[in-house]
Amino acid sequence: ANVVCPRRRVRDAVAAGLDVTYGRRCVSVADCVITFEDGTTEGPFDVIIGADGVRSRVARNKPTYLGYVVALGIAPAEAVPTHLRRATWQCLDGVANRMYSMPFDGCTDASTDAADDIRETSDGDRVMWQFSWREADEGAARLLAKAGGVTIRETVQERCRDWASYVPHLVSETAPEDIVAYALVDIDQVRCVVDDRTVLIGDAAHAMSPFKGQGANQALVDGVELARRLYRVQSLRPVSSPPPRGALSVEEALLDFERECIMRVTPKLNMSRANAQLTHSISALAVADVPRAEAARAA
């Protein structure tokens, strides 16, 4: 089953249990010491966990361009017809372009969680849209990602000009400051262990295309799986606690986590890449009352 949850709620829930310092940019990690942009250092630490996303400074294994661009916008719900305001929907041209939209504040027809009531979380109903397309020219993709909302909006408008009128209308009703774009990347192979005391989780370890909706999900599971293994390292436990069952050294814990992560995430990474290809091709238009990928395979 799919559970829709606004990113903000997940972030707040995670941060509530942590002592977070904002506004310090890490530039490098070596010998368990972190160096920050302002020249200060911290450490040495027992373990460093790099969770610094797709442009990680901690990771050595860097992601590469996937061949797609995605533009994201947030618009007032009135920008779409009434029946689509609380719906998740997409439009595909079966060539290279895809529009996807859903309520921004997590309030969907499927949600039964009172906390998802949009009136509690924002001044008004909003929808989030993603317009993605195949773009072979990596330079053009990266240029657009830096171009700013006005140029991105014009580019998307041009691409969906002849589509059902509510699609270009949604784009034109979105303020440029609420539009961004990314050149999508993914990783060739999942890699978590950087050295015997430094490990990666989330996009830093396994950046993937968003077309399977798995990146954040797997990042959250990473946290749990890594914590389970670090809990078995005697030196990381409170002095008063009994020895763990199946004690591990830090190095063993990190390697065991990496093994688990590779097995769990590699299929998701591959499916996310396949889905990127599928949703921007003629196969996406295969008609059947089954999941899209299954319909495409059967066609």
- Which of these, 138, 278, 133, lies nearest to 212 by C-alpha position? 278
Among 53, 76, 148, 149, binds ligand FAD (CB under 6 A): 53
- Is-contact 129 100, C-beta < 8 A? yes
Provide the token pair at 267.
């299929």
Query: What six digits make up the tokens of 168?
Result: 């270009």
Residue span binding ligand FAD (CB under 6 A) among the ranges 110-118, 209-217, 244-252, 270-278: 209-217
Please tell me the count of residues contacting ligand FAD according to CB under 6 A: 21
Closer Cβ to ligand FAD, 225 or 248, answer by number: 225
Q: Describe the crossing of helices 250-279 and 215-230 by its angle, rounded to 10 degrees.
A: 170
Q: Which of 67, 106, 168, 215 binds ligand FAD (CB under 6 A)?
A: 215
Residues 6+ apart with CB under 8 A from 109: 86, 87
Which residue, 101 or 232, has its beta carbon nearer to ligand FAD?
A: 101
CB 109 within 8 A of CB 125: no
Q: CA-to-CA distance for 46 and 236, rounded, in angstroms?
A: 8
**Does 28 participate in binding ligand FAD (rule CB under 6 A)?**
no
Write out the two tokens for 32. Answer: 């368990």
At 62, the amino acid letter reads K
Say whether residue 133 binds ligand FAD (CB under 6 A).
Answer: no
Given a contact cutoff of 8 angstroms between Cβ atoms, the answer to whether 191 and 200 are in contact is yes
Q: Which is nearer to ligand FAD, 141 or 248 (CB)?
A: 141
Pairing of the two strands 64-76 and 179-186: antiparallel
Question: Does residue 25 belong to the site contacting ligand FAD (CB under 6 A)?
Answer: yes
Stretch of residues binding ligand FAD (CB under 6 A), selected from 38-46, 121-129, 214-222, 236-244 = 214-222
Query: Which of 57, 142, 169, 237: binder of ligand FAD (CB under 6 A)?
Result: 57
If one asks whether residue 70 binds ligand FAD (CB under 6 A), the answer comes out as yes
Q: Which is nearer to ligand FAD, 4 or 282 (CB)?
A: 4
Scanning 13-21, 90-98, 139-147, 199-207 for contacts with ligand FAD by CB under 6 A, the matching segment is: 199-207
C-beta of residue 210 within 8 angstroms of C-beta of residue 272: yes
Among 219, 253, 261, 265, binds ligand FAD (CB under 6 A): 219
3-state secondary structure of 206: helix
Binder of ligand FAD out of 52, 105, 135, 258 (CB under 6 A): 52
Contact positions vs ligand FAD (CB under 6 A): 25-26, 51-54, 57, 70, 72, 130, 182, 202-204, 210, 213-217, 219
